[in-house]
Structure 1
Amino acid sequence: MKKNTILGITIPNESRISILEKILKYIDRPTGFLHIISLNPENLVITTENELFRKVVETAQMTIVDGIGIVLAGRLLSVEIGERVTGVGLMEELIKRASNRCLRVLMIGGNKNLALRLAECYTDQFPETKFKGLQGIEDIKNIKKEEETKIFSIVATYKPQLVFVAFGSPGQELWLDRHKKEFAGCVVMGVGGSFDYLSDNIKRPPVFIQKLGLEWFYRLVNQPWRWRRQLRLIKFIWLVIKQKVKKN
């Protein structure tokens, strides 16, 4: 197993500033498709269960270290890891940068009209930037052809430079990878539940909890139905320990 990997996935070793500079450089001179994937313990475990998702993560143009669990695993495994950059934090930063560049931003997903409401909120906050929101797909596991037709018709006419998709992982990443042709020239990123936090639909954890990397625990307390998802955290710990033993 490569030195800079956890569960076989290469872990980035970059600063927040370096990540932002690369994204903004791409926006200035777009070529192909820039897919950003947030890495956390849950989706690293999914890469061990879903070969297609693993390939999507391995071939992504950019990955960021989102979950604190990856940071801790890196210390245990002596893996060099860059600055932790949460998905919601990067989305916020890119939107602020977009406001200085008068970019076109498209938000897809979330429950009901959440993306539309969030786009309207940002339009009021940053009137010089163009924001557009649409629900897009009602059920990522049961996509309707007419839903995709509508989305890509809007993409073709609106020509967004930044695209944020909230369908949940791994569905959002698999969907974006399947449609790299339709999103050519775009910076695309799956952001999971970020729309809920940014719209204040769900209260964000206090700053001290965010700094401790305990957002996952805060969400579990406030959304107990998420407990099944935390089972992957247990599996992640087990797989990391196995990697440590094998390494020694």
Structure 2
Amino acid sequence: MTTLSCQKELRPEVMNLLGMPFHAVNFDRTVELLLNLVRTRQGAYAVTANVDHLVRFHRCPELRDVYFQADLILADGMPLVWASRLLGTPLPQRVAGSDLFPALCRHAADEELSVFLLGGARGSARRAAALLKRRHPRLAIGGVYCPTYCFADDPDEQRHALRLIQNARPDILFLGLGSPKQENWIVRNRFACGARLSIGVGVSFSFYCGDIVRAPLWMQKAGLEWLHRMVQEPRRLARRYLIDDRLFLSLFARAWVARLMGRPVGAFQPRQ
């Protein structure tokens, strides 16, 4: 079987959720697909998209191609999963970047793959890397780089970070730059940086090393992880969750009414 035919067989179904494409995969299947991309591709790219991503997808049309270029678009939020089920396009499970990060690192250690950590709060990537190495001695960590606050507007620092990654040539590049900075960086550099797979994981480095305490499992399952995060960082997150993301409720309400009336909800142009 050729690599291309194998990839076609592995390609999951794409669901249209409120006009945005998502791949209908559970967590274990996602890990399998991502590892297959590492083995068979160069410059692959995955997005772990939450409600904030979906809102931005609608408010910023110029960002849509950033998502359409992704090999996998994953639903990182229980509200997305619940909405998909109520609208008749069910996504099987939440696939959180903060869960994928340790899972992929564990598999990378088993398969002797290398990783690179770019971003995160000051020192968090280095602390996460040290903890990963203690837990998985066989894991090859090609490098760690925490950029300055002005990274997105500093071409010299961006070139420096790119050179570090190019020299390391990691199998998996994890980015903790926040969205949409991490996705924009990946789309611009995913082929030039030399990584086989690039994936944005947000605050996962801080979660993993314990700098930020993640919500209890019951809150994650109840779709309340956003509330836990907002309580921890109200000045940064309150406006996003309570005001900006209200568009999600409006989009869902309109789609729900359209479904009840038998009208199509909306279309998208996924990456072929």
The answer on whether the counterparts of 1:12 and 1:82 sit within 8 Å (CA) in structure 2 is: no
Which of residues 164, 167, 172 in structure 1 aligns to 2:174? 164
Separation (CA, whole Å) in 1 of partners of 2:22 and 2:195: 25
Which of residues 165, 189, 193 in structure 2 aligns to 1:155? 165
Residues 99-130 of structure 1, C-alpha deviations (whole Å, 9 max, x = no match): 10121110011122221222122122222111
Structure-2 change in CA distance of 1:185 and 1:106 (3 Å): closer
Separation (CA, whole Å) in 2 of partners of 1:153 and 1:107: 14
Q: In the alignment, does 2:201 pair up with 1:191?
A: yes
Which residue is equivalent to 1:232? 244
1:157 maps to amino acid: N
Which of residues 10, 13, 19 in structure 1 aligns to 2:21? 10
Name the SS for the 2:174 alignment partner. Answer: strand
Q: In the alignment, does 2:234 pair up with 1:245?
A: no
Q: C-alpha root-mean-square deviation of aligned residues, in Å? A: 1.7
Which residue is equivalent to 2:6? none
Separation (CA, whole Å) in 2 of partners of 1:123 and 1:6: 38
1:158 maps to amino acid: A
Separation (CA, whole Å) in 2 of partners of 1:56 and 1:49: 14
Residues 55-87 of structure 1, C-alpha deviations (whole Å, 9 max, x = no match): 111221111111111012112211121221111
Name the SS for the 1:229 alignment partner. Answer: helix
Separation (CA, whole Å) in 2 of partners of 1:214 and 1:162: 30
Shift of residue 186 of structure 1?
A: 1.8
Q: Which runs of 5+ in 2 are unaligned?
A: 1-13, 262-272
Instruction: Provide the identity percentage.
Output: 26
Shift of residue 139 of structure 1?
A: 2.7
The answer on whether the counterparts of 1:107 and 1:163 sit within 8 Å (CA) in structure 2 is: yes
Shift of residue 169 of structure 1?
A: 0.6
Q: How many residues align?
A: 244
2:250 maps to amino acid: W
TM-score, length of structure 1 as denominator length: 0.92
Residues 139-166 of structure 1, C-alpha deviations (whole Å, 9 max, x = no match): 3542x12212221221222110111111
Matches within 5 A, 1:1-248: 4-29=15-40, 31-131=41-141, 132-142=143-153, 144-225=154-235, 226-230=237-241, 231-247=243-259, 248=261
**Where do 4+ consecutive residues of structure 1 move more than 4 Å?**
none
The answer on whether the counterparts of 1:38 and 1:64 sit within 8 Å (CA) in structure 2 is: yes
The answer on whether the counterparts of 1:37 and 1:63 sit within 8 Å (CA) in structure 2 is: yes
Q: Which runs of 5+ in 1 are unaligned?
A: none
Structure-2 change in CA distance of 1:185 and 1:198 (3 Å): closer
